[in-house]
Amino acid sequence: MNAFTYSYPTKVYFGEKAAKTHLAGELAKYGKNVMVAYGGGSVKKNGILNELLEILRSAGKNVIEFSGIMSNPTYAKVQEGAEIAKKNNIEFILAVGGGSVIDCCKIISAQAKTDRDIWKLEYSEHGQPAEFIPMGAVVTAFGTGAEMNNGAVITNEDKKLKSALWGAYYNFAILDPAYTMTMPMKQVISGSFDALSHCMETYMGSPRNTNLSDEINEACQRNIIANLRKTIKDPDDISARSELIWAAAMAENGILKIGKVTDFQAHMLEHQLGAYTDCNHGQGLAVIHPKLYRHMLPEAEEQFARLAVNVWNVSPNGKTSAQLAEEFIEKLSGFIREIGLPTTFSEMGIPENTDLKAIADSTILTAGCCKKFTKEELLTVLNECRI
Ligand code: NZQ
Ligand code: ZN
């Protein structure tokens, strides 16, 4: 295992009625002017926003609402939020939503504290923001695990890039499974696949020999697969959903990454697909993963073989690791079909004339991936994803 330092800045309140029980206590630690940020209105329809506003008003806060944060949040939306935060002297941000709202607020919290352009600061000057407005996250859609990390995936429409910016950690996160009951099943499935992808992307990094992080990772993958199946069968099964919420947070809160350099090549490719098409993140990953993994097979044989046996219950008896690795890709592809995720770009509704070469050329090649892809190979993968 590589050397590491471990500490955790985000306090998690997990369970039904977590907001009612814990939010007022947390709010008491922060200033009076609170920005409540949310997306396109699902939290208005399902009553979550009203429940939270009541708690905020009882706590004597001045509330400014910031709404309309879109899926795949844009840098322009970050700037809009930062302006409002500055103008209203916002002292605390409460993000209410899925990964998009949660990510957007991480960068608003930094941009509101500086006149420097955060994108330029991080990508041209190789700096990091140092000051942040404190924040809390109320998770209403699980999958990304964004509530427990400080990376934010933001689309810069001018530059045609969907990239990570590094912002603040949430001071606390509220994970109430009941708040996710109104998630559309399509989002439950794509979010859960995103969480499974985070596990695999971490597992496929290096070192490649098995270690404690990988063994916890395998348990997370088994848990996501089993509980997604249960949730599809019975959408009201709050216990299965609880497992998915925590597994998704575990997949991206850094614990599985301890002592490892991660892979995330599939994610880099999907993010650029998103920059060009604004597609759903989990769906894009479902199409890309099996195709990309076929190209990684020779280099990834041992790890794929382990996943076949330890996650997908494939019997190793009498099989070579090459055969097991092949079976892993088949199991993964079969699962994607079973849960109704798309298997091609055309099924996702991605226009045929999408500039796949521009997507491949603008994709970051990751250091942790066991195969050193070229841009040409990534273009081949994207072409294989078409139909
Ligand atoms: O906008 P509203 O109306 O709220 O509707 C949302 C949105 O349409 C809806 N929704 C959320 N909670 C709901 C609900 N609908 C009904 N009931 C509820 N309780 O769900 C839709 C999707 O929400 P969104 O936040 O966009 O989805 P997700 O959580 O999958 O986040 C996707 C974003 O996160 C980034 C992705 O790239 C994408 O931009 N990621 C962030 C990561 C991170 N920071 O760690 C890691 C990931 O790899 C990922 O890249
Ligand atoms: Zn993801």
* pLDDT tens digits for range 206-237: 998 889 999 999 999 999 999 999 999 999 99
> How many Cβ atoms sit within 10 Å of the Cβ of residue 25?
11
- Mean per-residue pLDDT, 380-386: 98
Indicate whether residue 231 lines ligand 1 (CB < 6 A).
Answer: no
pLDDT number for residue 2: 84
Q: How far is CA 320 from CA 299, 300, 315, 382, in A?
A: 15, 14, 11, 29
Q: How far is CA 206 from CA 55, 144, 202, 264, 303, in A?
A: 45, 22, 8, 11, 10
Q: Which of 82-86, 129-133, 204-208, 312-316 has the lowest mean pLDDT?
A: 204-208
Share of the chain above pLDDT 90, in %: 97
Indicate whether residue 182 lines ligand 1 (CB < 6 A).
Answer: yes
Q: How far is CA 250 from CA 146, 221, 230, 300, 363, in A?
A: 10, 11, 19, 24, 26
Give the tens place of pLDDT for each residue, 292-351. 999 999 999 999 999 999 999 999 999 999 999 999 999 999 999 999 999 999 999 999
Any idea of the CA torsion for 233, 237, 239, 245, to the nearest 10 degrees?
Answer: 70
pLDDT number for residue 4: 87
Q: What is the CATH number of domain 185-384?
A: 1.20.1090.10
Fold of 11-179: Rossmann fold (3.40.50)
Summary mean pLDDT of the chain: 97
Cα atoms found within 13 Å of the Cα of residue 215, Cβ hemisphere only: 4
Indicate whether residue 281 lines ligand 1 (CB < 6 A).
Answer: yes
**Residue from 36, 100, 193, 279 to probe ligand 1 pocket by mutation (most atoms less than 8 Å from CB):** 100
| Nearest alpha-carbon partner for 335 in 321, 314, 305 | 314
- Mean per-residue pLDDT, 350-362: 98
Backbone angles phi, psi at 35, to 5 degrees: -95, 125
Indicate whether residue 342 lines ligand 1 (CB < 6 A).
Answer: no
Which are the contacts of 26, defined by CB distance < 8 A and separation ≥ 6? 136, 171, 172
pLDDT number for residue 103: 98
Give the tens place of pLDDT for each residue, 115-124. 999 999 999 9
Indicate whether residue 140 lines ligand 1 (CB < 6 A).
Answer: yes
pLDDT number for residue 344: 98
pLDDT number for residue 210: 81
For residue 17, name the pLDDT band (cuts at 50, 70, 90): very high
- The rounded Å distance from CA 103 to ligand 1 centre is 9
The answer to whether residue 12 scores a pLDDT higher than 90 is: yes
pTM exceeding 0.95: yes
pLDDT number for residue 188: 98
Q: How far apart are CA 281 and CA 271, in angstroms?
A: 7
Break the chain into its structural domains and give their ranges: 11-179, 185-384
Handedness of CA 113, 116, 120, 124 (dihedral sign): negative
- The rounded Å distance from CA 192 to ligand 2 centre is 10
Indicate whether residue 163 lines ligand 1 (CB < 6 A).
Answer: no
Indicate whether residue 41 lines ligand 1 (CB < 6 A).
Answer: yes
For residue 190, name the pLDDT band (cuts at 50, 70, 90): very high
Cα atoms found within 13 Å of the Cα of residue 321, Cβ hemisphere only: 11
- The rounded Å distance from CA 101 to ligand 1 centre is 7
Report the DSSP beta bridge partners of residue 232. Answer: none
Ligand in closest contact with the CA of 191:
1
Indicate whether residue 255 lines ligand 1 (CB < 6 A).
Answer: no
- The rounded Å distance from CA 191 to ligand 1 centre is 8
Ligand in closest contact with the CA of 103:
1
- The rounded Å distance from CA 71 to ligand 1 centre is 6
- The rounded Å distance from CA 141 to ligand 2 centre is 13
For residue 78, name the pLDDT band (cuts at 50, 70, 90): very high
For residue 1, name the pLDDT band (cuts at 50, 70, 90): confident
pLDDT number for residue 209: 84
The three-class DSSP label of residue 363 is coil
